[in-house]
Amino acid sequence: MSQPPYHLRTNKAADRFAFIEAMRRLERLAGPLAEYTYYGLGGAYLEDIRLVYEFYPEISMVSIEENGEICSRQEFHRPCADDRLQLENNTLKSFIATYEAKDEKSIFWLDYTRLDYTCFRDFITLLGKIAVGSLVKITLRAHPADYWTWEGERPLERKGKPEQFRRRFAAVLPDQSAYPHWSAKGFAELLQRMLQIAAQQALPAEATPFAFQPVSSFYYSDSTSMFTLTGVLWPRGDAAAVEKAFNGWQFANLTWTSPKLIDIPDLSTKERLHLQRYLPCSTPPGATLRAKLGHLIEEDIAKSEAALDQYAAFHRYFPYFLRGTP
């Protein structure tokens, strides 16, 4: 069965809204968002551009797209006038190679659908160029099935794939025996550690007073398993300022701890409206919401409560997709 269109995937949508929240808190840390330019890979529908413009219309925006036909489609889907949004027909690698910050703060979303070493190279190059106070989000494919298959409950190596992974990513592996994990969580944790190493290579402590400070990280299924990390370039000795800006955000990850799972259940609009009156709740949300709903949404109580825990955590970021008549 074909997957929902890219801009209509629930977990991806929640990830976008979490990014919007990170941007809001960035303003507390580094000043007005009007001083920033947003750079993203908007795709045909410019979904991230639309959200940035909707929440922060003061930000200048650049969408980078190498496919000329998709650029034409982006022209059709522009959410705002030309002076606010620039459509750049270019490869991301070429754009980063020629990018000059000129002390202007930026927000980048390196939204990859693949996992190649070039993604890490782009990340390293960009961190060496952006101005202090800039925010960078990077999203990578984190799909264990690319490397493993399953025989019952036992993972089996796809012939040569884990070893290819070790060779391809040797420069950013925590050790040479590291391998792509067969679980989505384990794989995401490894990618986060690899990005931490890449950030340290880009900004060595002995050479620069700035560091890449993480602010959030997630993993989720988006037709395939994905991992995403967001962080800010900030002075090494002032981590307390970042902590203050992101204090109280339940999704903050400021110390490279394990990424959080986004796995929002499918609920009807009627179910969501019914549950909304009980959120947020101080009691264990999964059990509370299951009782209030009065029926299971998964195959058993434990899975239903786990799914409703996810809904409680991300309900503010859960989009509504409605059918309309044009």
**What is the chain's mean pLDDT, rounded?**
93
Locate the domains of the chain by residue range: 6-262, 269-317
- Looking at residue 261, its pLDDT comes to 97
Phi-psi region of 176 (alpha: psi -120 to 50; beta: other; left: phi over 0): alpha
**Residue pLDDT, tens place only, 226-280:** 999 999 999 999 999 999 999 899 999 999 999 999 999 989 989 999 999 999 9
DSSP state letters, 147-196: TEEEETTEEEE-TTHHHHHHHHTGGG-SSTT----SSHHHHHHHHHHHHH
**Residue pLDDT, tens place only, 96-121:** 999 999 999 999 999 999 999 999 99
**Residue pLDDT, tens place only, 207-231:** 999 999 999 999 999 889 999 999 9
To the question of pTM greater than 0.85 for the whole model, the response is yes
For the cut 90, the answer to whether the pLDDT of residue 173 exceeds it is: yes
- Looking at residue 88, its pLDDT comes to 96
**CATH class as words, domain 6-262:** alpha beta
